[in-house]
Amino acid sequence: MELIITEKDNAARRIAEILSEGSASTERRNGVNVYRWGDKRVVGLSGHVVGVDFPPEYSDWRDVEPKELIYADVTKEPTQENIVTTLQQLARRADEAVIATDYDREGELIGKEAYELIRAETDIPISRVRFSSITDREVTEAFADPDDVDFDLAAAGEARQIIDLVWGAALTRFLSLSARQLGNDFISVGRVQSPTLKLIVDREREIQAFEPEAYWELFADLAKNGSSFEAQYFYDDDGTEAERVWDESEADAAFADLTSVDAATVTSVRRRTREDSPPTPFKTTAFISAASSLGYSAQRAMSIAEDLYTAGYITYPRTDNTVYPEDLEEDALLDAFVGSPTFGEDAESLLEQDELVATEGDEETTDHPPIHPTGELPARSELSDAEWEIFELVVRRFFATVAEAATWEHLRVVADAAGRSLKANGKRLVEPGYHAVYPYSSASENHVPDVEEGEELAITEVRLEDKETQPPRRYGQSRLIETMEGLGVGTKSTRHNTIEKLYDRGYIEGDPPRPTKLAMAVVEAAEEFAKHVTSEEMTAQLERDMTAIAEGEATLDEVTDESREMLAKVFEELEDSREDIGEYLQESLKADKTLGPCPECGEDMLVRRSRQGSYFVGCDGFPECRNTLPLPSTGSPQVLDEVCADHDMKHVKMLAGRDTFVHGCPRCEAEKAEASEDEIIGPCPDCHEPDGGELAIKHLRSGSRLVGCTRYPDCDYSLPLPRNGDIEVTDEYCEEHDLPELVVDPDSDDPWELGCPICNYEEYRARNAVEDLEDLNGIGSATAEKLEAAGIDSLDALREADPDRVAAAVQGVTAGKVRDWQEQLEA
């Protein structure tokens, strides 16, 4: 029997379809799909099915000094036991094995892990096949010409695993213990994560330190034969043209001069044409940037691209290459799109060009080609809207790289009015070139009429605009990844995941990402006491060392030993300042949770978490002062800068994904509830007879509202109500429950007819019933399939799963997403 091992289940299914010519059947072993035909078996892993960790004796944070981890042994243990068991069972029956994992550093390591699992059972021949797209031709050719596992390339990936584990665990434990932040609130530090966070924090500091300067700009509308265009005032500033006027009196004087005349005389007309070259082929960073302009996060874009690759529609999306291989036949690939309703016309127009010459970028590598379509064309109905949008982006980028250059005609007009100079720059697209097939790059025109020197143009309006210089913009995700690439921080395969981890850890929020106060505190502490932790030079050097391993110029042991020695030096700095670091972080973290003074004792009121996991506001003077305020049960709290004028207390926002809302001042919300009266609406279905319990609209001190029994706590029957909006109790009654129908925001343009509160809640529960994985928000069929391949094939399995292990095993799924799903299950 020949055993074939792929990186994921969907790749296994696709390869089985190709090699068996559609005749493969499926059987289940230990909850794992095995594809079979004849004497062939194909099984998909779930990424890494074994993980690196420290031995059990290092697991207790309180009993093990963090620096002990620096030179601790690292062990490998199965993370997906059902897949490991299945692989080894099949290996014992096999005569030969073929490893067909992705062809990159991470894929080679996953392949090596499979190699070692097989070797533990048998000494059968094991070969390696490599391909850049899962298409009939590439897969068939790869299996016809197998190679060996590249143990140097795999060792580079393994070195990364070990170094990231040692650095991350040792530093995370040190800072968390120093700051007394344990449990779910630990302070996460990482070899790539921390330098990336520093980039974001440094940009935020630039923004905060920025002091705007006032300046003025003047514009005049000029007209010829009823056709008007905008011109801008400029002046000579030591040989350069300047548009910004920094002195208000000078701006006023220029405005007075321009408004004193009604015509301007053309003094200069210059025409030129410019060639606009097509873009270069997609490498990973450029692809992420282009997908970002369509609204996709880096993580989402890569996840979709990987699914399209596995389905055989595009080539491998993790690449630094910007030069197509010599054997790529551009005309044959274009021909595959002829006849397509979406792409056919553009493909035909490109094939009609005199010659097809693809553009080339500056980077050429030998592992994978640039990202491009394979020629396998899915039907529109086979892909989701997001998948189709990304697929079309990749197709059209390929089209653009083989299209002709565009040609622009530029017209520059300079005119004089009352001794003041005005200029207008027009441009017109003469030959659309690649813009005809690639609508993602700007092709906007600016009309300026054809004029001649000496011609007079009417001035129809003059505008003086006062402006301020703007701070630097925050890094968008794609720009951040480009900056990381330029500094050598991370790799094409890890950068987008690093950003996602920063979101998961609560270090950044929003898009473009901005650092939280926790992030600012952690970076400031590292800069003060151990600069190596956030140094991009350090992590870039380690990246170079791992490349040296892949090229056979260094060994895994040499690089990991050097890394451990570097970390030991970092700890020498940290140990000397342990108390200072702890105090600094504790004060910073406390400031991040402080709302204002306690009205009873004057100590700080802080956001706290109960043993049950719920949040509330409590006095820092506890246990002497037991003053508390409730917070909503939905989401996690974020303290805002806005301060309540009545209570000198900061407002709170509850972060709950799409349901995020501003709670406001906790004291205000509590006082509103105390001042409100219950509004009786009808009998309680649980205890009305014989004790007389009734349902009432209640306002809680946490700011929430509900319909609850007046006999609470003896009767805890309750129904949820919307948090915001006026509620009107109507005269219409529900025949089944004898309760009035409710309307939310009755005076608005779009009132919400809630109806009977019992009927509404029953309908809500039915709509949101969670019976299988796909009932959870954020889990579609593709994600459910990935989870099932990783052993998460039921709601119970998801409920009990370790979020970090799931994130490590399932591409495109983060630990934060897993926790969100688990919270949905508990809701």
241-295 per-position pLDDT tens digit: 999 999 999 999 999 999 999 999 999 999 999 999 999 999 999 999 999 999 9
pLDDT at 811: 64
Quote the CA–CA distance of 595 and 618 in Å, as a whole number: 10
Quote the CA–CA distance of 174 and 179 in Å, as a whole number: 9
Of the listed ranges 322-336, 528-542, 746-760, the one predicted with least confidence: 528-542
Vertex 293 angle, CA 309 and 396, to 5°: 50
Q: Which residue has the higher pLDDT, 184 or 77?
A: 77
- Going across the sheet that includes 2-6, the strands are 25-29, 32-37, 40-44, 2-6, 96-100, 126-128
**Does residue 195 surpass a pLDDT of 80?**
yes
Say if residue 722 is preceded by a cis peptide, omega within 30 of 0: no
Classify the phi-psi angles of 619: left when phi > 0, otherwise alpha if psi is within -120 to 50, otherwise beta: beta
pLDDT at 660: 78
Vertex 657 angle, CA 651 and 663, to 5°: 20
**Does residue 649 surpass a pLDDT of 70?**
yes
C-alpha dihedral sign at 536, 537, 538, 544: positive
Residue 202 near residue 81 (C-beta atoms within 8 A): no
pLDDT at 689: 67
Residue 114 near residue 87 (C-beta atoms within 8 A): yes
pLDDT at 797: 84
Which residues make Cβ contacts (< 8 Å) with residue 431, sequence separation at least 6? 404, 405, 406, 407
Residue 524 near residue 507 (C-beta atoms within 8 A): no
- The model's pLDDT over 474-503, given as tens digits with 9 standing for 90+, comes to 999 999 999 998 888 888 878 888 998 888
pLDDT band at 460 (very low <50, low <70, confident <90, very high): very high
pLDDT at 537: 82
What's the whole-number mean pLDDT along residues 320-337?
92
Helices assigned H by DSSP within 434-494: 477-487
Residue 720's nearest CA partner among 600, 813, 634 is: 634
Residue 103's nearest CA partner among 94, 90, 112, 95 is: 112
What's the whole-number mean pLDDT along residues 360-382?
88
pLDDT at 399: 97
Residue 508 near residue 516 (C-beta atoms within 8 A): yes
C-alpha dihedral sign at 718, 721, 723, 726: negative
Residue 417's nearest CA partner among 223, 282, 682, 555 is: 223
pLDDT band at 225 (very low <50, low <70, confident <90, very high): confident
pLDDT at 599: 92
Task: Give the number of C-alpha atoms closer than 13 A to the C-alpha of residue 349, restricted to the C-beta side.
Answer: 14
**Does residue 728 surpass a pLDDT of 80?**
yes
pLDDT at 7: 92
3-state secondary structure of 613: coil
Quote the CA–CA distance of 667 and 172 in Å, as a whole number: 36
Q: Which residue has the higher pLDDT, 805 or 732?
A: 732
Kindly name the residue from 316, 438, 475, 503 that is annotated as catalytic.
Answer: 316
**Does residue 679 surpass a pLDDT of 70?**
yes
Of the listed ranges 148-162, 211-225, 303-317, 570-584, the one predicted with least confidence: 570-584
**Does residue 473 surpass a pLDDT of 90?**
yes
Of the listed ranges 113-117, 145-149, 438-442, the one predicted with least confidence: 438-442
pLDDT at 827: 60
pLDDT at 162: 94
Residue 453's nearest CA partner among 295, 611, 269 is: 269
* Residue listed under structure tokens 């004057």: 602
- The model's pLDDT over 540-559, given as tens digits with 9 standing for 90+, comes to 888 889 889 999 999 999 99
Residue 251's nearest CA partner among 214, 213, 218 is: 218
- The model's pLDDT over 148-165, given as tens digits with 9 standing for 90+, comes to 999 999 999 999 999 999
Quote the CA–CA distance of 548 and 541 in Å, as a whole number: 11
Beta-sheet strands, E only, within 38-114: 40-44, 50-53, 75-78, 96-100
pLDDT at 120: 94
Of the listed ranges 447-451, 568-572, 653-657, 713-717, the one predicted with least confidence: 653-657
Determine the distance from the C-alpha atom of residue 806 to the mean position of all C-alpha atoms in its chain, rounded to a whole number: 17
pLDDT at 570: 86
pLDDT at 407: 96
**Does residue 714 surpass a pLDDT of 70?**
yes
- The model scores a pTM over 0.85: no
**Does residue 695 surpass a pLDDT of 70?**
yes
pLDDT at 184: 66
**Does residue 144 surpass a pLDDT of 90?**
yes
Q: How many residues does the chain have?
A: 827
Say if residue 512 is preceded by a cis peptide, omega within 30 of 0: yes
Active site residue 35: no
Which two structure tokens, joined as six digits, stand for 518? 């926790």
pLDDT band at 756 (very low <50, low <70, confident <90, very high): very high
pLDDT band at 534 (very low <50, low <70, confident <90, very high): confident
pLDDT at 410: 96
pLDDT band at 190 (very low <50, low <70, confident <90, very high): confident
What's the whole-number mean pLDDT along residues 61-68?
91
3-state secondary structure of 590: helix
What's the whole-number mean pLDDT along residues 562-579?
88
Share above pLDDT 90 across residues of the chain, in percent, rounded to a whole number: 58
Share above pLDDT 70 across residues of the chain, in percent, rounded to a whole number: 98
